[in-house]
């Protein structure tokens, strides 16, 4: 077992989406190594039952623990919803979800006390965002919208496609009638179409991507446990493990993670 502070940080998602979190973490923590697990063989998570998603999340964490990670980031809102809904199991390292940090960010941003949340069906049905937000401030109205077509479109690479814009309009139109001034991208795939979403909702609405807030929490947790890698460490390594390799993943991941470079890309089984 490696010295804890030089051990990698584990990050997982069902597919490409968690790379939005990984990129932010790797840029904010340039001395840290990362192991990323994309469970592409079982994607999408957001249309599965919460029990199934919890089982997948547990298996993903166990896989990352086998890589001697010192912390795990569940860079998936659907998995974070499941982990927050089924508390009880203690893992041997800190496990950070994306929902609490994004909610905190939104709470400090809203002025009208109207926060909208876009998410997968599982995340919206599980209602964890609303629970976390209203627990902190019962006066806030939470307007949630499931956007089940976003993930397949993004995984297909249809990011700049007119069809993507049509789908965004279709899901966001009902939210335009609310007094929202803050919109949480409650799925880690959605920051990949943030520009297109912002265009539809207008510049008045602040769009919250969980990644910066997750990086703050991770730094804080590691700092208090003396887990931060020391500055003399070797150059940063980012290893990607994918449960089903398709040709598009490598291309999109490389393009998206730029200027960071991928250390290795491995097909893996859980
Ligand atoms: N990126 C994930 C999330 O944040 C999951 C998307 C999916 O697999 O449905 O919920």
Segment 252-267, tens digit of pLDDT: 899 899 999 999 999 9
Ligand 1 in reach of 187 Cβ (< 6 A) = yes
From CA 51, how far away is CA 166, in angstroms rounded?
32
- Using DSSP's 3-state secondary structure scheme, residue 97 falls into coil
Lowest mean pLDDT among 54-63, 189-198, 216-225: 216-225
Specify the pLDDT at position 124.
Answer: 98
Specify the pLDDT at position 147.
Answer: 98
Closest of 122, 85, 118 to residue 102, by C-alpha: 118
So what's the architecture of 2-97+211-267 in CATH? 3-Layer(aba) Sandwich (3.40)
**8 Å CB contact between 181 and 204:** yes
The residue-averaged pLDDT of 141-157 equals 93
**How many CB atoms neighbour CB 167 within 10 A?**
20
Pocket test for ligand 1, best of 36, 103, 188, 214 (most atoms within 8 A of CB): 188
pLDDT at 227 over 80: no
The residue-averaged pLDDT of 90-114 equals 96
In order of 72, 88, 212, the CA distances from 262 in angstroms are: 19, 35, 21
Confidence of residue 232 (pLDDT cuts 50, 70, 90): low
**From atom 9 of ligand 1, which residue's Cα is the shortest distance away?**
46
Specify the pLDDT at position 9.
Answer: 97
Closest of 6, 4, 10, 5 to residue 66, by C-alpha: 10
Ligand 1 in reach of 123 Cβ (< 6 A) = yes
Specify the pLDDT at position 223.
Answer: 78
Query: Which has the higher per-residue pLDDT, 115 or 155?
Result: 115
**8 Å CB contact between 81 and 48:** no
Ligand 1 in reach of 151 Cβ (< 6 A) = yes
- What are 193's two structure tokens? 């179409």
Confidence of residue 231 (pLDDT cuts 50, 70, 90): low
Query: Which has the higher per-residue pLDDT, 234 or 112?
Result: 112
Specify the pLDDT at position 233.
Answer: 62
Helices and strands counted in the chain (H then E) = 11, 10
DSSP 40: G
- Residue 120 Cα to ligand 1 midpoint, Å, equals 6
The residue-averaged pLDDT of 121-133 equals 98
- Residue 13 Cα to ligand 1 midpoint, Å, equals 7
From CA 241, how far away is CA 265, in angstroms rounded?
6
- Residue 43 Cα to ligand 1 midpoint, Å, equals 8
Work out the mean pLDDT of the chain and round it to a whole number. 93
pLDDT at 217 over 80: yes
Give the torsion sign (CA, 119, 121, 127, 128). Answer: negative
Confidence of residue 1 (pLDDT cuts 50, 70, 90): very low
Ligand 1 in reach of 189 Cβ (< 6 A) = yes
The residue-averaged pLDDT of 66-76 equals 97
Domains 2-97+211-267 and 99-210 share a fold: yes
The residue-averaged pLDDT of 199-210 equals 96
Q: Assess if CATH 3.40.980.10 describes domain 99-210.
A: no
Ligand 1 in reach of 214 Cβ (< 6 A) = no
pLDDT at 195 over 90: yes
Q: What percent of the chain has pLDDT over 90?
A: 83
pLDDT at 2 over 70: no
The residue-averaged pLDDT of 231-238 equals 80
- Residue 187 known to be catalytic: yes
Q: Which of 16, 76, 147, 222 is catalytic?
A: 76
Ligand 1 in reach of 23 Cβ (< 6 A) = no
The C-alpha angle with vertex 203 and arms to 201 and 209, in degrees rounded to 5, equals: 75
From CA 17, how far away is CA 43, in angstroms rounded?
11
pLDDT digits (tens, 9 = 90+) for 10-36: 999 999 899 999 999 999 999 999 999
Confidence of residue 3 (pLDDT cuts 50, 70, 90): low
Confidence of residue 157 (pLDDT cuts 50, 70, 90): confident
Q: Which of 187, 197, 211, 253 is catalytic?
A: 187
Residue 226 backbone zone (phi > 0: left; psi -120 to 50: alpha; other: beta): left
From CA 194, how far away is CA 174, in angstroms rounded?
18
- Residue 229 Cα to ligand 1 midpoint, Å, equals 29
The residue extents of the domains of the chain are 2-97+211-267, 99-210
């Amino acid at each position: 077992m490696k010295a804890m502070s030089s051990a990698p940080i584990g990050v997982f998602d069902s597919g490409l989406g968690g790379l939005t979190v990984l990129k932010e973490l790797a840029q904010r923590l340039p001395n840290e190594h990362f192991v990323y697990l994309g469970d592409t063989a079982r994607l999408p998570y957001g249309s599965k039952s919460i029990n199934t998603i919890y089982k997948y999340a547990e298996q993903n964490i166990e896989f990352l623990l086998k890589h001697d990670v010192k912390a795990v980031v569940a860079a998936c809102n659907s998995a974070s919803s499941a982990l927050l809904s089924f508390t009880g199991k203690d893992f041997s390292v800190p496990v950070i979800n994306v929902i609490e940090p994004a909610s905190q960010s939104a709470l400090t941003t809203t002025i009208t006390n109207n926060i909208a949340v876009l998410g997968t069906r599982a995340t919206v049905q599980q209602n964890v965002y609303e629970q976390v937000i209203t627990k902190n401030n019962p006066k806030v109205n939470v307007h949630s919208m499931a956007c089940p077509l976003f993930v397949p479109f993004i995984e297909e690479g249809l990011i700049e496609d007119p069809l993507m814009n049509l789908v965004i309009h279709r899901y966001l139109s009902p939210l335009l009638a609310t007094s929202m001034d803050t919109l949480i991208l409650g799925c880690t795939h959605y920051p990949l179409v943030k520009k297109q979403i912002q265009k539809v909702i207008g510049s008045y609405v602040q769009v919250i991507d969980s990644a910066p807030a997750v990086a703050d929490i991770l730094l804080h947790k590691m700092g208090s446990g003396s887990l931060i890698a020391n500055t003399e460490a070797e150059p940063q390594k980012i290893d990607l493990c994918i449960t089903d390799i398709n040709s598009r993943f490598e291309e999109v991941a490389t393009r998206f993670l730029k200027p960071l470079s991928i250390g290795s890309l491995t097909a893996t089984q859980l």
